[in-house]
Every structure is written in structure tokens, then in C-alpha cells.
Amino acid sequence: MRRIKAFALALVLIIGLSGIATTPVTITGHSDVLYVEAKKKKLTQKQCYKKLVRWLKKHGNTWIEDEDLHSVLDHREGNWYIYHFYYEGDDMTWTMGWYAVNRKTGKVKDYLSEGEL
């Protein structure tokens, strides 16, 4: 078992140092079975916002490119970033949408119409 772990660790180090894999891994062993699991990093707020903008453009929301549009990260719910897009007038605000982006998976949802996160 120790030889297998040592070999797997050496293999992971070689792959990591060669630049083939840039994702950190965890090696755990249970009896005679060895598991190598990639640890997935969470997306940053900036990465989530960029993913959301691409998603909005893909779905035909041309207003996303308007210079007068405001966007704000309103809050976070667990792994979800909640963004608000709106226009401001003299005495009112026009909401274009509320959207959620999962920082673990990158999934985008229309926050108001798709129900629970």
C-alpha cells in the first residue's frame, strides 16, 4: 500500500511540475484502494460577473452593453452571488433583472423566475 501511495504521489508531483495539471489534488487511501481527487477552486466574484455577462449576451440581452446600465453585486446566498442590473431615472429605478451565479459550478440562473437556488 505504501508503494502505491508513494508512486501515486510521485506521479501527481510529476504531472503538476510538468504543467499538465494545475489543479491541486488530495490523495487518500482506504485499505488497498487509493483515491486521487482534484480540488476545484471556487470562482471569484469577478469571474462570476464575466460569466454572467457572457450568459446574458448569449441569451439576447443586448441591454447588457448599454453604458447607462448599472450593475451591482447585491448579496451572496451560500455559494451564489446575486447581481442586480438596473437603470436610474430622475425619480425612479428600472430593474432589468436579478441574476445568480454559483461560484462553485459557474451555473447562471434568473434569480426571480427560476425559483430556489
DSSP string, 78-101: TTEEEEEEEEE-SS-EEEEEEEEE
Higher pLDDT, 3 or 62: 62
Beta carbons within 8 Å of 27's beta carbon, 6+ residues apart = 5, 8, 9, 12, 34, 35, 36
The amino acid present at 56, given as its one-letter code, is L
Half-sphere exposure of 29 (CA within 13 A, CB side): 11
Q: Is the pLDDT higher at 48 or at 4?
A: 48
Rg (CA), the chain: 21
Tell me the C-alpha distance between 42 and 49, whole Å: 13
pTM: 0.65
Q: Which three cell numbers stand for residue 55?
A: 450568459
Identify the band that residue 114 occupies on the pLDDT scale cut at 50, 70 and 90.
confident
Query: What is the phi-psi region of residue 41: left when phi exceeds 0, alpha when psi lies from -120 to 50, beta otherwise?
Result: beta
Is the pLDDT assigned to residue 48 strictly greater than 60?
Answer: yes
- Domain architecture of the chain: domains with CATH: 2-38 (no CATH), 45-110 (3.10.450.170)
